[in-house]
A and B are shown apart, each in its own frame.
Chain A
Amino acid sequence: MSEATFALAGNPNSGKTTLFNALTGARQHVGNYPGVTVEKKEGVYVHDGRQLKLVDLPGTYSLTAYSLEEVAAREFLVNEKPAAVIDIVDAANLERNLYLTLQFMEMGVPVIVALNMMDVAAQRGITIDTMKLGQLLGVPVVATVARRGEGKTELLQVAERIVGDGVRHHPLDISYGEDIDLALMEMEQAIRGAGLLTDRYRARWVALKYMETDEQILALGRKANPELSAQLEATVQKVADHLRATLDLYPEAVIADHRYGYIRSILQQGVMGVRHDRDRLYLSDRIDKVLTNRFAGPLIMLAVIWGLYQFTFTYSEVPVAWLGSFFGWLGGLAEAFIPEGLFRSLLVSGVIDGIGGVLGFVPLIMFMFLGISFLEDSGYMARMAYMLDRVFRVFGLHGSSVMAFIVSGGIAGGCAVPGIMATRTLKSPRERLATILTVPFMNCGAKLPVFALLVAAFFASHEAMVMFGITLVSWAGALLVAKLLRSTVIPGEATPFVMELPPYRLPTFKGLLIHTWERTWHYIRKAGTVILGISIVLWALMSFPGLPESVRQQFENQRQAVLAAAPATAKAIENAGGETALEASALDLQGKLALIDAREAEMGLRYSVAGRIGTALESLSRFAGFDWRTNIALVGGFAAKEVVVSTLGTAYSLGDVDPEETGSLANKLAAAPGWRPLTALSLIVFTMFYAPCFVSVVCIAREAGSWKWAAFSVVFNTALAFTLAVVVYQLGSLLGF
């Protein structure tokens, strides 16, 4: 079976992902491009015993060194040398989409154009002569409608033909006007003569990139051959000076003009016919008249976020309860069948409670991601960035920061790790750094279980409202901190905001499911590995060292004393075996025994390593209303925020004595002494703002390029969180809550 690689490329919103999903189905693998955190999706298409490997390149508008995505796409084409680039072109938006196509052709890679969304183009009265377009461009052109899977067979036939015969292709050389053309020719000769970077790139393309002052190529060139590079740069400078003097233009502007000119000349040769007025208002525009309306827009936006909450909480309630009782049942089963001891304790308190605490929230996260994917795929997310940019700029951020904030949990349920990575699309180092440092304040999917637990325990009657409030507080906190950072440690000017508002589209069901599954699986995988390990480490911290024998003996003596005081009742309990109803005196005796057991367990936990840490911190943390159990949980939360829940679960189930009792942690907390709504509120505030989990911290270090910022975020965030929690708790106590 032969295997050939094809790269799938195209503008954002061109239907690239839809086509990729249609071709590969569930046979996908998500990874990263080497050295960068740009997501790389791979899939396989099997047809007639042939296997085609498809790599989904990041969606880009151009191939400059402007963003990491564009560089990643370029590097992939040069290093992996795919058989061809399948360039997905939006037929309804041909002119701008071909700009990228042209750049692939200039690079000299074989191109197959998939002319997508032919149905939308037809609705808009645009007719395209695919045959003629192919002839004029000199590449194969296939019409497709990715949503319905139309044209994918033809597309792959063309791809297979390329693998089979190695169809000839000619790199495209466009004329950029006399001044640039002459200089390019001269530079190309020099580059070819010296072999500058020609092992990887076409000589003319290197010359072109010099002319465009492409930082990446310039850096490579300077390293490979400093003298020649200096000579080339001098040539470019001469042309640039001349163009500035005569036309008041930069060479890169002239090049872009000629690329668009070339596209226009092709389209005007009878390739494209437009029946309607291009400015005609389509459905999408009419929707925008309402959704981005000055008054209705922001209100609708709030309603959409609110609706997302209602959707998530209402529909996930039932499966969350199922999972909760399943793990409760599992724990009960283990306790009933495994003899008491270290192993049972490990299994129940370490493994089952740990995993259950995390997996119990999978349905919630799935519903949340389903909603977010819908907003992303429908095009509404871009409108949010558009409407909010003015606000973000006030805080020294960028409209595109919205995406990072939302991915991190701006609409609760994301993750700061991809959120921090999403800031890669932000070019300005200052806005990017401010975004990186503040997105961990968002309510990520891992904090959600903590909030959900506390809300269920103390604010059950106003669940959606409190969760909504939590979101608003985290936004306000993040933005204010961003402003603080931008005016103190990272000062500087604002950077450009040029963004497409894609037409509204009804997302495909398949696309939504794949997207949702990817993110949920990411969460489960994390829960299954990191969290299990941490849960066990924490169990060990909480179990060792055990109480000294003399103390244990004291408790045993107490128990014996209680039993000896009422020998008849003790006998009755033994005989009943838990089957028949007990008399009041027996229940009273059981209660006494339970109290002794609980006290012993609590003392044991206090005596453990974790207990000692927690107790040591108690003198400080009591100002925020946290006892040593909460302290243990919060220390554990540095590993991953969801661990706060599993640790509280472990801490409280260790103090529990009844093996039949599998009630949820929420009930336990609500009944626990020392807990009241104000304590929960203080803990919510602290959890929201304190140190990001260590995975995020590692990401911050990598993305910000320095461990200094990672350390800063740990120390600064924790100090901020503690201050806020103390303020909330002390103020609340004063007001009598």
Chain B
Amino acid sequence: MTLIMMRQMQDNQAGIIRTVKASGEMGRRIRDMGLVPGAEIKIRGRAPLYDPVALRVMGFTLTLRNDEADFIEVEVQ
């Protein structure tokens, strides 16, 4: 049970979001898309240039940049 930033997660690694540090519009946009504490996520893969990252949350696929993933702390096994 460890806390890491979303950027550090490997492809296909799963975890539970613990905190979303982003504020303002970025924070709002992240939360609107369902990335809130308690949400289970799984990394689906990365774009051909390794950024953005695609992940699965609440049964759909979302993409965000590594720079944004840096604001999201995830608890992984």
Task: Give bound CA distance, A487 to B40, whole Å.
Answer: 40
Stretch of A164-172, A290-298, A317-325, A644-652 that contacts chain B: A290-298
In chain A, positions 39-95 with a C-beta closer than 8 Å to chain B are 61-62, 64, 66, 92-93, 95
Select one of B26, B34, B38, B56 contacting A496, CB under 8 A.
B26
Q: Is B1 in contact with chain A by the CB < 8 A criterion?
A: no
Q: Are B54 and A386 in contact (CB under 8 A)?
A: yes
Task: Give bound CA distance, A248 to B22, whole Å.
Answer: 11
Select one of B36, B48, B67 contacting A298, CB under 8 A.
B48
Task: Give bound CA distance, A288 to B44, whole Å.
Answer: 10
Q: Mark A497-528, 1 if CB is under 8 A from B, else 0.
A: 11111110000000000000000000000000
Q: Are B32 and A499 in contact (CB under 8 A)?
A: no
Q: Are B31 and A427 in contact (CB under 8 A)?
A: no
Q: Mark A386-402, 1 if CB is under 8 A from B, else 0.
A: 11011101000001000
Q: Are B36 and A260 in contact (CB under 8 A)?
A: yes
Q: Are A96 and B27 in contact (CB under 8 A)?
A: no
Q: Are B31 and A292 in contact (CB under 8 A)?
A: no
Known interface pairs A496-B68, A498-B63, A499-B63; A93-B33 also in contact (CB < 8 Å) = no
Determine how close the nearest CB of chain B comes to the CB of A33; give it in whole angstroms.
21
Select one of B19, B32, B48, B59 contacting A95, CB under 8 A.
B59
Q: Are A257 and B47 in contact (CB under 8 A)?
A: no
Task: Give bound CA distance, A389 to B46, whole Å.
Answer: 12
Q: Are B64 and A501 in contact (CB under 8 A)?
A: no
Q: Are B68 and A498 in contact (CB under 8 A)?
A: yes
Q: Are A253 and B27 in contact (CB under 8 A)?
A: yes
Known interface pairs A253-B27, A298-B48, A498-B29; A389-B61 also in contact (CB < 8 Å) = no
Select one of B27, B34, B65, B68 contacting A252, CB under 8 A.
B27
Task: Give bound CA distance, A348 to B33, whole Å.
Answer: 58
Q: Is A623 in contact with chain B by the CB < 8 A criterion?
A: no
Task: Give bound CA distance, A297 to B49, whole Å.
Answer: 11
Task: Give bound CA distance, A34 to B48, whole Å.
Answer: 41
Query: Whose C-beta in chain B lies nearest to the C-beta of A248?
Result: B19
Instruction: Provide the main secondary structure of the chain B interface.
Output: mixed
Q: Is A250 in contact with chain B by the CB < 8 A criterion?
A: yes
Q: Mark A290-331, 1 if CB is under 8 A from B, else 0.
A: 001111011000000000000000000000000000000000
Q: Is A220 in contact with chain B by the CB < 8 A criterion?
A: no
Known interface pairs A95-B58, A497-B52, A500-B62; A390-B47 also in contact (CB < 8 Å) = yes
Q: Are A96 and B58 in contact (CB under 8 A)?
A: yes
- B residues within 8 A CB of A99? 32, 34
Max chain A C-beta neighbours (<10 A), residue from B38, B47, B54: B47
Q: Is A136 in contact with chain B by the CB < 8 A criterion?
A: no
Q: Are B33 and A390 in contact (CB under 8 A)?
A: no
Q: Is A278 in contact with chain B by the CB < 8 A criterion?
A: yes
Q: Is A279 in contact with chain B by the CB < 8 A criterion?
A: yes
Task: Give bound CA distance, A390 to B54, whole Å.
Answer: 13
Max chain A C-beta neighbours (<10 A), residue from B26, B28, B56: B28
- B residues within 8 A CB of A298? 48
Select one of A126, A252, A389, A496 contacting B47, CB under 8 A.
A389
Select one of B14, B34, B40, B63 contacting A96, CB under 8 A.
B34
Select one of A62, A250, A278, A292 contacting B23, CB under 8 A.
A250
Known interface pairs A250-B27, A498-B68; A390-B52 also in contact (CB < 8 Å) = yes
Query: Whose C-beta in chain B lies nearest to the C-beta of A299?
Result: B48
Report the contact-size class of chain A (Cβ under 8 Å from the partner): 35 or more
Q: Is B6 in contact with chain A by the CB < 8 A criterion?
A: no
In chain A, positions 270-292 with a C-beta closer than 8 Å to chain B are 278-279, 285, 288-289, 292
Select one of A250, A391, A497 contacting B68, CB under 8 A.
A497
- A residues within 8 A CB of B38? 257, 260-261
Q: Is A494 in contact with chain B by the CB < 8 A criterion?
A: yes
Q: Are B34 and A62 in contact (CB under 8 A)?
A: no
- B residues within 8 A CB of A715? none
Query: Whose C-beta in chain B lies nearest to the C-beta of A296?
Result: B48
Known interface pairs A292-B54, A500-B60; A390-B31 also in contact (CB < 8 Å) = no
- B residues within 8 A CB of A253? 20, 23, 27, 31, 36
- B residues within 8 A CB of A297? 48
Query: Whose C-beta in chain B lies nearest to the C-beta of A390?
Result: B49
Max chain A C-beta neighbours (<10 A), residue from B39, B54, B56, B65: B65
Known interface pairs A99-B34, A256-B31, A386-B54; A292-B65 also in contact (CB < 8 Å) = no
Q: Are B32 and A278 in contact (CB under 8 A)?
A: no
Q: Are A501 and B28 in contact (CB under 8 A)?
A: no
- A residues within 8 A CB of B56? 278-279
Known interface pairs A278-B59, A499-B62; A256-B25 also in contact (CB < 8 Å) = no
Q: Is B30 in contact with chain A by the CB < 8 A criterion?
A: yes
Q: Are B48 and A498 in contact (CB under 8 A)?
A: no
Determine how close the nearest CB of chain B comes to the CB of A394; give it in whole angstroms.
9
Q: Are A386 and B33 in contact (CB under 8 A)?
A: no
Task: Give bound CA distance, A298 to B48, whole Å.
Answer: 8
Q: Are A389 and B14 in contact (CB under 8 A)?
A: no
5 A-B pairs (CB sep. < 8 Å): A61-B33, A95-B34, A96-B60, A248-B19, A252-B23
14 further A-B pairs in the complex, CB-CB below 8 A; given A292-B45, A494-B67, A498-B64: A61-B32, A96-B57, A249-B19, A250-B27, A260-B38, A278-B40, A279-B14, A285-B61, A390-B48, A390-B50, A427-B25, A496-B26, A497-B52, A498-B29
B residues adjacent to A (C-beta < 8 A): 14, 19-20, 23, 25-34, 36-40, 42, 44-45, 47-52, 54, 56-65, 67-68
